[in-house]
Structure 1
Amino acid sequence: MRRKQMETTLLIMAAGIGSRFGTGIKQLEPVDDSQHIIMDYSIHDAIEAGFNHVVFIIRKDIEGEFRSVIGDRIAAICGKSGVTVDYVFQDIEDIPGELPAGRTKPWGTGQAVLAAKAVLKTPFVVINADDYYGKEGFRLVHEYLVNGGQSCMAGFVLKNTLSDNGGVTRGICKMDDQNNLTEVVETKNIVKTVDGAETDGIAIDTESLVSMNMWGLTPEFLDMLEAGFAEFFETEVPTDPLKAEFLIPTFIGELLDEKKMTVKVLRTNDTWYGMTYKEDVEAVKESFKGMIEDGMYEKDLFGDL
């Protein structure tokens, strides 16, 4: 059962439509026989861990479909559990400057989180809508935040995050002896091998911890993020106006370099599931079927809250 705790927020970045996934909104792909989607499981796990405010970051143009497929249903479930729900909109024109001519690409996860600044009054965990993180990460981040921690990240074991259907990009974490994050090394095209993983023929330690964009943060971080976005507009956008992106991991990496922030890495042994490739869908559905059969989740997903 859910523990009564201080106010904490689950912030879900749901504005993106997956380019590699083919047509349609990949966040809306059912993963079980009851037509639940990955996001339902994340919301369940977050509420179970003690988070009591849900904020969806979406785009205005998908609001109707999003509310009908997800939002209204989740709001009804949350209402019974005493959990509040808010919507915020990521808008390409919500920027500290002029929109460059021809720009259609969103500004990235940093701008997405900033879109929620007005409604984020509590410590929060931020996640991707279409990733499954498991229960342990939510428990660890929640515990860290409610005990006064400022910034943390769920660190997933690399071998628990790979796809059978192609290469993936992962942020491999470097840490000090206190498990404080020192650097995230973005590593592209990591593929499974018979005895582990490699990228471009070089073996990679599959026990490494990686960042899957599950951060525990506080409202104070948003002030730094806002200042960082303004600086990004002055320095990065002029050199690459159509493609420059303001990304949370990159920005946090800069703050770590400048010793303006410390981030505790909380190791989770849960398997991460995502649908990077269309072919991942069946494997993910099988995994959820197994978790339900093993009693990790009720068939009536929210019935135990």
Structure 2
Amino acid sequence: MKPTLLILAAGMASRYGSMKQVDGFGPNGETIIDYSIYDAIKAGFGKISFIIREEFAEAFKAKFEPKLQGRVETDYVFQSYDLKPFGIDKEVERSKPWGTAHAVLAARNQINEPFCVINADDFYGYDAFKKMADFLTSEVSDEQYSLIGYQIDKTLSDYGSVSRGVCKVDEKGNMVEINERTEVYFKDGDVFYKDATGENQLAPDTRVSMNFWGFTPAVFKQSEPMFKKFVEANETNPKAEFFIPLVADELIKNGTASFKVIPTANKWFGVTYKEDKPIVQASISELVQNGTYPENLWA
């Protein structure tokens, strides 16, 4: 059974100021998601599932169905504010959904095969998709999950600090813990992060998570009770989000599953700030020129 690619595309793109999931970056208006899907199909994924807000469904389908028809199966998962499907009988006022791990849970009735999760607005590169497809085809189990580990110095923006999930990896290549550093930046060519203790330096090859995770459907049952607890603890905190690293951390700590950190030397790029856009366009243009991608992706 071919694995499924689950794309997190329900975010509001608040920092970027527009619906960047459908913004064009390639020579023929290709979105970042187009490149991810192209790489995923080439790497052997059999289905693409988009997690979106229901009101964006028509815009998404109009953009992606004509290109993907006949190439790969597609599916749409809606992330909403309704807690009843999770057995939570209350309404909580929020301005945005409950976060990435909640988005994954929204797919629990639609995915029955090993799958991976990525962000819609991040460029990951073919190497990462190939390594993940191989893992999901031959290694994954209900006790062994994975994430792609990028080198931190290949994931930063020149235009401001970013948040990164910094991984601590053991000698077997498994993640021991993941720490969300909310202010990571370049300074004089070195990598630093700021927290309550002040400014701290990180080695340039420190592995970070760019939200590229590999699972089996067992993760739905494993994470649902965590989500219920999370809602109970945070119903008065409208900004609290149930993130995938929280789930990973708990599964590791309670011995339910380990997470293999699959290293890639690919340069990650994404659009956090408006100023990042020309850099992403130039990076994609270079990949087209060197033959990594065709000029017209879906021609």
Query: Normalised by the shorter chain, which TM-score bucket?
Result: over 0.9
**1:149 maps to which residue?**
140
**1:60 maps to which residue?**
54
Q: Is the 8 A contact 1:156 1:211 kept in 2?
A: yes
Relative to structure 1, the CA distance from residue 241 to residue 169 in structure 2 (aligned partners, 3 Å threshold; closer, same or farther) is: closer
Q: How far apart, CA to CA, are the structure 1 residues paired with 2:266 and 2:132?
A: 14
Q: Is the 8 A contact 2:166 2:181 kept in 1?
A: yes
SS in 1 for 2:295: coil
Q: Does 1:92 align with 2:92?
A: no
> Could you list the per-position Cα deviations for residues 78-108 of structure 1 after superposition, in whole angstroms to 9, with x for gaps in the alignment?
x1x3x21111100111443244453222111
Q: Is the 8 A contact 2:27 2:296 kept in 1?
A: no
Q: How far apart, CA to CA, are the structure 2 residues paired with 1:226 and 1:66?
A: 28
SS in 1 for 2:109: helix
> Could you list the per-position Cα deviations for residues 22-58 of structure 1 after superposition, in whole angstroms to 9, with x for gaps in the alignment?
1x20111111220100000000011110001110111
Q: Is the 8 A contact 2:83 2:89 kept in 1?
A: no
Q: How far apart, CA to CA, are the structure 2 residues paired with 1:74 and 1:222?
A: 30
Relative to structure 1, the CA distance from residue 251 to residue 101 in structure 2 (aligned partners, 3 Å threshold; closer, same or farther) is: closer
Q: How far apart, CA to CA, are the structure 2 residues paired with 1:169 and 1:103?
A: 22
Relative to structure 1, the CA distance from residue 241 to residue 198 in structure 2 (aligned partners, 3 Å threshold; closer, same or farther) is: closer
Q: How far apart, CA to CA, are the structure 2 residues paired with 1:257 and 1:11?
A: 25
Q: How far apart, CA to CA, are the structure 1 residues paired with 2:66 and 2:238?
A: 37
2:100 to 105, 109, 112: 109
Q: Does 1:118 align with 2:123?
A: no
Q: Is the 8 A contact 1:10 1:126 kept in 2?
A: yes
1:73 to 58, 62, 66: 66
Relative to structure 1, the CA distance from residue 208 to residue 233 in structure 2 (aligned partners, 3 Å threshold; closer, same or farther) is: same
Relative to structure 1, the CA distance from residue 202 to residue 101 in structure 2 (aligned partners, 3 Å threshold; closer, same or farther) is: closer
**1:205 maps to which residue?**
203
Please tell me the residue identity of whatever aligns with 2:9.
Answer: A
Q: Does 1:294 align with 2:287?
A: no
Q: How far apart, CA to CA, are the structure 2 residues paired with 1:30 and 1:147?
A: 35
Long gaps (5+) in structure 2: none
Relative to structure 1, the CA distance from residue 101 to residue 112 in structure 2 (aligned partners, 3 Å threshold; closer, same or farther) is: closer
Q: Does 1:249 align with 2:245?
A: yes
Once the two structures are overlaid, the 10-residue window that deviates more, 287-296 or 192-201, is 192-201
> Could you list the per-position Cα deviations for residues 105-155 of structure 1 after superposition, in whole angstroms to 9, with x for gaps in the alignment?
211111111111111111001001111111111111111111132311000
Q: Does 1:34 align with 2:28?
A: yes
**Cα shift at 1:187:** 1.2
**1:44 maps to which residue?**
38
Q: How far apart, CA to CA, are the structure 2 residues paired with 1:99 and 1:290?
A: 51
Long gaps (5+) in structure 1: 1-5
Q: How far apart, CA to CA, are the structure 1 residues paired with 2:237 and 2:248?
A: 22
**1:18 maps to which residue?**
13
SS in 2 for 1:93: coil
Q: TM-score, normalised by structure 1?
A: 0.91
Q: How far apart, CA to CA, are the structure 2 residues paired with 1:113 and 1:182?
A: 22
The percent identity for this pair of structures is 38
> Could you list the per-position Cα deviations for residues 248-283 of structure 1 after superposition, in whole angstroms to 9, with x for gaps in the alignment?
111111111111110100001101111000000001
**Cα shift at 1:186:** 1.2
Please tell me the residue identity of whatever aligns with 1:108.
Answer: G
SS in 2 for 1:118: coil
SS in 2 for 1:263: strand
**1:226 maps to which residue?**
224
Q: Is the 8 A contact 1:90 1:115 kept in 2?
A: yes
Q: TM-score, normalised by structure 2?
A: 0.93
**1:260 maps to which residue?**
256
**1:217 maps to which residue?**
215
Q: How far apart, CA to CA, are the structure 2 residues paired with 1:256 and 1:172?
A: 15
Q: How far apart, CA to CA, are the structure 1 residues paired with 2:192 and 2:226?
A: 34
Q: Is the 8 A contact 1:169 1:190 kept in 2?
A: yes
Q: Does 1:7 align with 2:37?
A: no
